[in-house]
Homo-oligomer: A and B are copies of this chain.
Amino acid sequence: MRFAALAIFMVVSVPAAAIEEPLTLDLMPVPAQIELGANAFEIDAGFTVAIGGDGATDRLHRGVQRMLRRLSDRSALFFEPSTFLELEDREDAAMAVTAGRAGKLAVGEDESYRLTITEEGIRLQAATDIGALRGLETFLQLLTLDESGVTIPEVAIFDEPRFPWRGLMIDSSRHFMPVEVIKRNLDGMAAVKLNVLHWHLVDDQGFRVECLAFPKLHELGSDGDYYTRTQIREVIDYAADRGIRVVPEFDLPGHGTAWLTAYPELSSAPGPYEIERSWGIFDPTINPTIEKTYEFLDPFFAEMAELFDDDFIHIGGDENNGKHWLANPEITTYMEAHGYDEPLALQRYFNERVLEILTKYGKRMIGWDEIFQEGLPKNVVIQSWRGRESLFEAARLGYSGILSNGYYIDLIHPTDHHYLNDPLPDNSDLSAEEAARILGGEATMWAEYVSPETVDSRIWPRTAAIAERFWSPGTVRDVADMYRRLDHISLQLEELGLQHERNQPMMLRRLCRCRDIAPLEVLLGTIEPVKVYRRGQQRKHTQFSPLTRMVDASWPDAAPAREFRWTVARLLDGDLADPVDIASVRGALESWQANDTAIEEILRTSPALAEVKPMSAALTEVSTIGLEALGYLTSTDVARDADWLRPRIERLEAAREPHGQTELMIVDPVTVLVCAAAFPASLTEPGCQPEEEAMTGGEH
């Protein structure tokens, strides 16, 4: 390699702490191996691409055309029409893309690629066209712009995924997501090298697929909001064009309200049923003890097996509470007769019957933890919402699985919470063979509290960090660098039509019916939606509830609050020696303190803004306390005592109270400042001791 001499070989798999500066550039996911040169390749209006190899599929052609569109759009370079239209037989092309064969959309397909950029040109080589598509995304992330032009750094990358199953689950049942929402999210997935769309199409709140065999499913189960077969094919083709599999989920036998609204004769308790409009775990369950159920499911899955061409069908299987079974004497009699001592045993029987049907139609079965039982064929895959341990247990018994616990993006955890969650940590005690059964993971976008307008902001940018967890070496774990890159990637994702950045100001404008939203944005920099399942606990929501309030506009991981927390931590870590950090903390607190006055008029413009008045007041109060503490910390004054400390801790505690389903994210760091100002009196103050986060995991 011509620049091997001048480049330091930096494999990012060296732990971040061990090297001075991990070579991540602005890439996400970070490639497996990367080597940087000193030069660059210049891209100008004469840029051209040639595609070659037996993997020069139509898919790859279209992928290159999309890449060229984005390259031209970002750089504003005016390429000739021929640049887009003539992709073969160009000897002189600036970029050569070769793929060895057409890739299959199947678990474990080769997605590796080699991207070599020198001053002379760009070479992208891959075993499959799918691998080449992955490399094109890396290429676009390397694009460098300034006033003098467009360049790509001299670099040699070899890349391949750590896990073969890297998914995003989108729930289209609780809130219907139109085709364009799915499509733009597929583009986002492709940009960060995810390769499975797990499409949650059926739940208590809606049956979202057209079904020819049993049309009442979509006619009565969807309020008219379902995907036609044509649309389903359109999505599958769109995904396939981006090297993404589509795995449909038809949740059974629990989460059964929509099925039973259409076909109550399959139920375990007398009907009639109606589409469920609220959130939670409900009783309606399909009756596994009657043959009619299987006579229904057989043609149903026959049709779906033909419509969806992936190897897998997901049968859900989660959260069947068994109530309707135990309340039905015929079912309990059946259970006794067959020796099923609990609902789960009966469900296992049901699963076996369903598996038989899926197998008949050439499909592999995947389901949530609850479907797992010994004796299942080994080609069944388990998706774990419960946790890594249940996945490992299955792996030890020979079953493959994917992890979703810890990737429940609907629970509004910060990005690093998901990022540091590894499907297969270094210290796992699995053998190599068992470890290979951990296929990857999936982020899950459950849709109780998202609409087509807000869903992108709950998926992105956090899912890009999860995608990195699934793709990059497990040693890539530098949280600060992840956030730095995520900020770039988030803006890049916008070019795909994703609305995660641009819809927030729009939502604020709608709330105030005004254009000067700056004070609202300041407030949103410090609050986040309540986490985990608190939103539903605080206020009853239905499928029709508005998702247009401040809680919906607020970020899951507000950057100003996060940066403030970090600066405070660093400041105290460094014994308050850094004047820049002191100024930064003071500046932030002062601007927050002043915001309540600036925002006052705006909060009067709507009832939906009035509900966050207490949050704005709390922000000012907490900032005032923080400034007082900082004043003492940075003066030569003596430390405060417990009498000073206690009332402030109490006021800070009070400021933790959520309003409008949002919570204030700067209470912790200000508490730290206050406790520091009152050191050592704070040593015995309970409010100055760190708390453990409770309630993780997910249910659906």
Contact = CB atoms under 8 A, between A and B. Distances in A.
Contacts of A510: 73-74, 491, 494-495
A653 B672 CA distance: 61
A683 interface: no
A177 to B, nearest CB: 12
A505 to B, nearest CB: 7
A488 B605 CA distance: 14
Contact of A147 (B77, B540, B607): B607
A549 B78 CA distance: 11
Contacts of A652: none
A230 B229 CA distance: 11
Contacts of A611: 76
Interface in A60-83: 69, 72-81, 83
B505 A491 contact: no
A390 interface: no
Contacts of A515: 487, 491
A17 to B, nearest CB: 29
Interface in A253-289: 277
Contacts of A654: none
Contacts of A345: none
A497 B510 CA distance: 12
A552 to B, nearest CB: 9
Contact of A543 (B81, B494, B501): B81
A545 interface: yes
Contacts of A696: none
A330 interface: no
A506 interface: yes
Contact of A81 (B73, B497, B509, B544): B544
Nearest to A513: B491
A79 B83 CA distance: 54
A108 interface: no
A145 interface: yes
A76 B546 CA distance: 5
Contacts of A323: none
Contact of A78 (B79, B150, B545): B545
Interface string A137-150: 00000000111111
A606 interface: yes
A32 interface: no
A76 B145 contact: no
Contacts of A487: 515
A510 B72 CA distance: 12
A292 interface: no
A72, A487, A549 interface centre (most CB from chain B within 10 Å): A72
B513 A509 contact: no
A546 B502 contact: no
Interface residues of A, number: 63
A700 interface: no
Contacts of A69: 544
Contact of A76 (B72, B494, B548): B548
A627 B148 CA distance: 33
A332 interface: no
Given A76-B607, A607-B76, A488 B513 contact: yes
A42 to B, nearest CB: 11
Contacts of A604: 146-147
Given A78-B545, A147-B606, A506 B494 contact: yes
Interface in A601-627: 603-611
A180 interface: yes
A158 interface: no
Interface string A293-319: 000000000000000000000000000
A75 B606 contact: yes
B149 A81 contact: no
Nearest to A606: B145
A146 B606 contact: yes
Interface in A164-198: 178-180
A334 interface: no
Interface in A568-622: 603-611
A321 interface: no
Interface in A434-476: 453
B150 A607 contact: yes
Which A-B residue pairs are the 7 nearest by beta carbons?
Answer: A76-B608, A147-B610, A502-B502, A180-B180, A81-B277, A73-B548, A145-B606
Interface of A: 69, 72-81, 83-84, 145-150, 178-180, 228, 230, 277, 453, 487-488, 491, 494-495, 497, 499, 501-503, 505-506, 509-511, 513, 515, 539-549, 603-611
16 contacts: A72-B545, A73-B510, A76-B549, A78-B540, A81-B277, A84-B544, A145-B605, A145-B607, A146-B605, A147-B607, A147-B609, A148-B610, A228-B230, A487-B515, A502-B503, A505-B505
